[in-house]
Amino acid sequence: MKLREMTKSDLDTIAVMEKELFKEPWTKEDFQREFDENEFANYWVAEIDGEIAGYFGLWILFDQAQITTIGTSKKYQRQHVASAMMQQIEKMCIDNECEFLSLEVRISNLPAQNLYKKFGLDIVSVRKNYYSDHEDAYLMVKAVGGYV
């Protein structure tokens, strides 16, 4: 498996994966806007044999990092792709001296919650009606350490 920065040429594939994986998928235009307008955005893909197996987005805002999206192609689920991406996220947090890593996750998404817990993120609060379908989200946070 190879991890690399996402490019604009990946966006068609990523948009298709988003639709397959999420109730409220990001569009190609959403990702395009991140590339064009968000100086804090970092988007990466995981490749297996030249095929995109997964992807993630991470905002690094000074000493804070937030996972904006993370997904693994159904074909590659349960093959440690998400774990490899989480390890890359942790590395990026440490390299950028982030104090905290956070994300929101649907309260119904137990597999994702279990992955995040495995990597040391804890549920710290509930975001009521976070999603447009009114499902709540858990805010999960991990202290990364900041300056060493």
Give the integer Cα–Cα distance in Å for 86 and 14: 18
Confidence of residue 146 (pLDDT cuts 50, 70, 90): low
State pLDDT tens for residues 110-120.
Answer: 999 999 999 99
Average confidence (pLDDT) over 81-103: 96
Q: Are 68 and 58 in contact (CB under 8 A)?
A: yes
Report the candidate in 115, 91, 129, 132 with the shortest Cα–Cα distance to residue 140: 115
Is 104 among the catalytic positions? yes
pTM of structure: 0.92
Q: How many Å apart are CA 71 and CA 132, to the nearest integer?
A: 19
What is the spatial distance between Cα 13 and Cα 29, in angstroms, rounded to a whole number?
13
Q: Which domains are present in the chain? A: 2-143 (3.40.630.30)
* Residue of 104, 130, 131, 135 marked catalytic: 104
Please indicate whether residue 18 is annotated as part of the active site: no
Q: What residues are paired with 43 via a beta bridge? A: 57
Percent of the chain at pLDDT > 70 equals 98
CB atoms within 10 A of CB 92: 18
pLDDT value of position 145: 81
